[in-house]
Structure 1
Amino acid sequence: MPAVRLFEVGPRDGLQNEPRQIPVAEKIALVDLLSRSGLTHIECASFVSPRWVPQMAGSGEVLRGITRAEGVSYAALTPNLRGFEEAQAARADEVAVFAAASEGFSRANINANIAESFERFAPILAEAKKAGISVRSYVSCVIECPYDGPIDPAQVAGVVEKLLDLGCYEVSLGDTIGAGTPDTVRALLERVLTVAAPSQLAGHFHDTNGRALDNIDVALDLGLRRFDTAVGGLGGCPYAPGASGNVATEAVARHLTRKGHAHGLDLAVIDAAAEMARAMRGDADV
């Protein structure tokens, strides 16, 4: 059975929604611990304006300060060409751009409609290609939007197809407010898989309503083998009211083990990182 890859987003997507300003040294310590867990991809920086997401201030220092492990790709979120240039200067191994499947969320998140967001991505993809840097992409609100309501899977498929055409190697499908159910996730993926191969997709599930693992099972049944997770269940989204944390890395790893899917993670290290993450957000005893 093919191995399942977990893409750790806790140090970026997780910490960006924590109310406390996490010191750079603590972020570096978390990434360094995760680097010893068997993870192959860790997103640990975001070059968005600190005015809008102050929790991500110091991302360049994080990337420059971590102890890089062989075989681990360290990723950064880049909203525009300036952000890409900053990520490149800080030696990010890969970058990510972010789109939305709903107009309401796109405007709330990046102050641009979906079409305008693609105009912003094009220069990033062009420069990344020149530099030999891989580009991943996120699509938010693939099931339901806090502003626009339920989303048509065909609309998601159209956004995914454009991102792949631009040159993104992978598209992460974000159930941003955790509204997905096994039935809606299946309907979404069956439509998106008409424009993308399973190897080009990742599932990004929030556990708002306790259904993330069930939704992952549906994705596994349909051939996906890549999922975004956040150690300790960190996360949420500043622009998605009601979004709770990402599904926890340690929970998904154990679930995969029970299902017979190899993931390659050292659970003792993951558990230690989860404890560190919970301490960073002030609930170590929860």
Structure 2
Amino acid sequence: MLLDVSDTASDVNLAFGSSVGGITIGPDNSLYGLGAALIRIDKNRKVRTVLTEQAHGAAGLLAQSDGTLLFGQGHQVKKVGPNATVSVLAGASGTSRKPGQPVPSSVSATAVHFGGDIPIPFGIRPDGSVLIADTDIVWALKDGRLSRIYQTSAKSAAGEQLSLFAGSTVDGKGTAYVATGSQTQQEHVGDIITTDTNGQSGKIQLPSTVGGISGNPAVLKLTWLAGDESDGVFARAYDDSGDYVLHIHSGQAELVARSTTVNSTSKCALAHPIDAKKLPCALPYALAYHSGTLIAGGESGYLLDIATK
């Protein structure tokens, strides 16, 4: 266990203890969490509050190589700089774009009207482009301009507009991993769509079975994705039998962690490292990965550090 965050009076609990809007690991291996507050946990487990009121209503969280942070709030993508200064990086104020309507292939970052949901910055490509999930569109932000790299026009079985998955990610080669869902249609592992740096999109390649999981992994429901900084992705997923973390890459998939404990409000007392495939505690909701470190946090009273090899 990395940290107990069950103290309901603390800002770290506001970031991780219940609903989590974002989680990321910075270049110095500090962990950041975004909920009702934005907090930082350094490698010595020292906790510092970055933002409180200014983090309200924010979602999506990225750490850039220069140590600045990005998140979405309202109809804008914002940057948190030195001394917790917050500035607008993309998105015009005013009326939001109606999801599904056509948009230009390229537009000034400060002129665009994002869709009805909060724009979610979810990954950075090797060329420095920031990928943003904007309801039904994936934008790549670079040098003050947004380039449209993917747009879905699909509807749910109930006729609802499908929105892009808030827990999307990008791998080390710049391939984006997204999925779509709605209020009545949950995202599944087999629904993950990949879009590479050449603009080619397709469904993720999966084996029909994975050791340690009964049934087809494609039907597992998604909660979060984290790129592995190579050519794959870690997926936090679940079914009626338990919660899982899978490592998906090159058409293969391996089980990394598994829990059959569904009560996320229970205490988790791990005095020493244990087999992640036999967790006695509920598996937290969200994932972050950087340089060999995989962290699971959110909607539980603790953070877990999971070995990936």
Please indicate the TM-score interval, normalised by the length of the shorter structure.
Answer: 0.3 to 0.5
Which structure dedicates a bigger proportion of its chain to helix? 1
Greater relative CO, 1 or 2 (CA 8 Å, sep 6+): 1
Q: Which has the higher strand share?
A: 2
The structure that has the greater radius of gyration is 2
TM-score w.r.t. structure 2 length? 0.32
Give me the TM-score of the superposition, normalised by structure 1: 0.34
